[in-house]
Each structure stands twice: as C-alpha cells, then as structure tokens.
Amino acid sequence: MYWEEIRKSKHYEEYHKGVLAWSDVITLIHKIKNKRKKGNKIEIETDNIYILCELKNKILYVINVKNK
C-alpha cells in the first residue's frame, strides 16, 4: 500500500475528530504494520483503536476513528 499524503475526510471532521488527536492517528497509520485492505478501504486496528481509511489517487483519507 502506497500513498503520498494523508488527509481528513469530511465525515471524520464532522463525527470523529474528537476521539483521538490527529498526530496520534498519523502515528498509528505509519506504525501499525498489519493493515487490511478491502477494495479501496484500509482498516487499521490496535487493541483500543479502529481506523478506517480510503485510498483515492495516492491520497489516504481518514474516514473513521473509534475506540473499541
């Protein structure tokens, strides 16, 4: 999986930006090695956090961040 940039989606801005600091989201995206790809969606999980992203034109959009 390759992307040139990571951005916040409108859905993330409206509903999920208070769950985790943006710097922590970026760190987890780069740190977690076992990402699951389902079509153009990418799921990233830790014991406590679930992150859903979408890859479009080499830009990774963060859609959803939830506490488990």
Per-residue pLDDT reduced to its tens digit, 6-57: 999 999 999 998 999 999 999 999 999 989 999 999 999 999 999 999 999 9
pLDDT value of residue 7: 97
0.95 surpassed by pTM: no
β-pairing, 49-56 with 41-45?
antiparallel
- Of the options 3.30.2310.20, 3.40.1800.10, 3.40.50.1010, 3.40.640.10, the CATH number for the domain spanning 5-67: 3.30.2310.20
**Would you list the domain boundaries of the chain?**
5-67
